[in-house]
Structure 1
């Protein structure tokens, strides 16, 4: 049974993009030529194929100023949408992004965890080792190394806490208690939603066992807890036919030290970050076109990065959500390109995606504005 926090406690994917190849030199081959000549090829590589047992090093950003850093501009739309595994390379240093929205986003995340804990937080006890591993690395290594002007270990020698210089919070370096409490702290520390997948009990695929998802795009993550990855994606048109086997196979083969990222997109008719339902349509739903208020509408992108933990070997999916006004897209001269991409949702290998993304409701109105 899942842990349910008390009221006093506070604290969508088809197409991936980038693999980080992390390799370790594991030995030196010494060729010794013997006069007898009868012991050729007596030397072998040592542990060349062994997986690393720790994360690769993180690149520091010693002069990074979050207050002036603009959010990433993601523009992943194409003239024709095809449901594929579009994978790009990523590095460990790309795992967490910071920008000038950090303080406001963290405040919103904490409010959502207070108001909707049963929806945005969930964990089974079996995921504790993975959650603790990720948390400890994040607070002890990643954040203070990558963003030293935002996070500082204290005291300098034999540190025991992470000082968040933005919020003035001080966090322990070791997680304690139920994993849901650790996820609560993570949810108020980084502007990424985090999902933990463990091998399924029957050995077939991966199952969601823990999450903090403050900004879901049209679903209640709590309903996905203890559900296999393939079953989570059942509502996605043609996922079973196009991606299920390749996704399961890829997750099985994902090596420690490799990171891959992807970005998806849609248009929402409100500027909200958190949608617990209502951003997708399914077979049998009846709809009618709506006039989109372009001041409220947003081009919404999720930047997703997946990797495997070195010790517990759990798979981690991090998701950062970006919102852009349609006027911003249009101002970049990309209005026509996005309008074509809206039509392209029904011109690729899964035409049902046009309906699934609710383009049947907002599509015509959005295109008219983008092309005007």
Structure 2
């Protein structure tokens, strides 16, 4: 019918109609191309077979965070082998709450205020990933998993904000325009640190594009921004020959809905959580002479989680830092296990970790104390 109508119009008007319709079609095609996130073209996923949303979250009915002890993780082994050591995790255990919650989030806010250049950063390309995670965490995960701590508040049926009951804060459900502001809210909301990894522009591996890391373990995260995964791990002894290829392959294959976890450990001379330096030594470094107070020393454990965001397809690496006293380890009957793990840093497939973890400095002191 449109063809017959156009045939009755003067030639010049017909051409004008076609030009108008063509311009609209070209504009729509151009918009579609621009709207498509540039980084998704390198993601090696079967999108038609993958879910586009997070798995369902179970509610912890009657959970009392004030009466919940921090989780105890003892990842040390008699021989240290550099492997991924990855296990299946669960969306339900992705974020943990315990009696230290208020003290930890207050400390995190102070660190973000005093050291923003070291703990917060975001490239523009990461905004969609940051917004996606922010929206899910505030709108879905926290109020569903921990309803006695976080509640959605509404007026006349319109959900307006998330009420953090322990801190009595009211947080916007819509991510701020600046992703740094979103990361700052995330950093003061939970006791986990987050790193957003996007497919590299050249299609080879993943690159760090945004982070909030209030509790870095001896490194300055800002220096890792815009580095590929393999370059971030360059200082790690034997990483290139032992883990680089397998890690890149593994990251490519992570499916939406899968939550993977691992843990690592170190010993440090104090209870400081914000450590941008001082937790590692490298080949050629002089061994410092230090005195240690065993009551102040801590076993530092990172509980790490990794999953893929459903919409942006970015990878989110998160970690919760836990500190344990050495007397606590002795009281659990694990003194000899930790002694064996310290010696085992020399015996695995990556003996450089004995130096890297500074065991060459504190090892004999800690072993003597544990054997008292």
Normalising by structure 2, what TM-score? Answer: 0.86
Matches within 5 A, 1:313-328: 313-328=313-328
Q: Are the structure 2 counterparts of residues 48 and 318 from structure 1 closer, same or farther at C-alpha, using a change threshold of 3 Å? A: closer
What SS does the corresponding residue of 1:155 show, helix, strand or coil? strand
Alignment partner, residue 19 of structure 2: none
Distance 1:219 1:87 in 2: 22
Correspondence 1:20-31 to 2 at 5 A: none
SS at match of 1:67: helix
Equivalent in the alignment of 1:226: 226
Matched, 1:75 2:88: no
- Distance in 1, Cα, partners of 2:107 & 2:206: 30
CA displacement at 1:176 relative to structure 2: 1.9
Corresponding residue for 1:152? 151
Distance between the aligned counterparts of 1:165 and 1:290, measured in 2? 44
**Structure 2 equivalent of residue 118 of structure 1:** 117
1:367 aligns with 2:367: yes
Larger Rg: 2
Deviation of the 1:177 alpha carbon = 1.4
CA contact (8 A) 1:195 1:213 kept: yes
Q: CA deviation at 1:278?
A: 1.0
Conserved? CA contact 1:289–1:364, under 8 Å: no
- Does structure 1 residue 329 correspond to structure 2 residue 329? yes
Q: CA deviation at 1:292?
A: 2.0
> Secondary structure of the equivalent of 2:158?
coil
Residue matched to 2:284: 284
User: Could you say which residue in structure 2 is the equivalent of 1:199?
Assistant: 199
Check conservation: 1:346, 1:354, Cα contact below 8 A.
Answer: yes
The SS at the match of 1:129 is helix
Superposition map of 1:118-197 within 5 A: 118-155=117-154, 157-197=157-197
User: Hey, what does 1:9 align to over in structure 2?
Assistant: none
Query: When you count helix as a share of all residues, which structure comes out higher?
Result: 2
- Shift of residue 289, structure 1, vs aligned partner: 5.3
Could you tell me whether the CA contact under 8 Å between 1:193 and 1:215 is conserved in 2? yes
Runs of 4+ aligned structure 1 residues displaced above 3 Å come to: 288-291
TM-score (norm 1): 0.86
Mapped to 1, the partners of 2:84 and 2:277 lie a distance apart of 25
* Inter-partner Cα distance in structure 2 for 1:177 and 1:224: 24
Q: Deviations over 1:227-251 (max 9, x none)?
A: 1110000000000000000000001
**Structure 1 residue aligned with 2:63:** 64
Partner of 1:353: 353
**1:309 — aligned with what?**
309
Worse overlay, 123-132 or 282-291: 282-291
Where do 1:16-95 residues align within 5 Å? 50-95=49-94
CA distance in 2, matches of 1:228, 1:48: 24
Separation in 1, partners of 2:230, 2:168: 41
CA deviation after TM superposition for structure 1 residue 291, in Å: 3.5
1:214 and 1:288 mapped to 2: Cα distance? 26
- Aligned residue number for residue 246 of structure 2: 246
8 A Cα contact 1:290 1:365, kept in partner? no
CA distance in 2, matches of 1:127, 1:253: 20
Instruction: Give the conservation status (yes or no) of the 8 Å contact 1:122–1:180.
Output: yes
Aligned to 1:297: 297
Q: CA deviation at 1:290?
A: 3.4
Structure 1: gaps spanning 5 or more residues: 1-46
RMSD: 1.3
Hey, what's the Cα distance between the residues in 1 that align with 2:105 and 2:65? 13
- Give the superposition deviation at 1:359: 0.2
Does the aligned pair in 2 maintain the 1:263–1:303 contact within 8 Å? Answer: yes
Any unmatched runs of 5+ in structure 2? 1-45
SS in 2 for 1:318: strand
Which secondary structure does the structure 2 equivalent of 1:160 belong to? strand
Contact 1:289 1:360 in 2 (8 A): no
Q: Tell me if the contact between 1:303 and 1:320 (Cα under 8 Å) persists in the aligned partners.
A: yes
Q: Does 1:100 align with 2:95?
A: no
CA-to-partner distance for each residue in 1:150-192, whole Å, 9 max, x for gaps?
0000017331200000101101111021111100000000100
- How far apart are 1:288 and its partner, in Å? 4.4
Q: What SS does structure 1 have at the residue aligned with 2:280? A: coil
Q: Within 2, Cα distance between the matches of 1:246 and 1:93?
A: 27
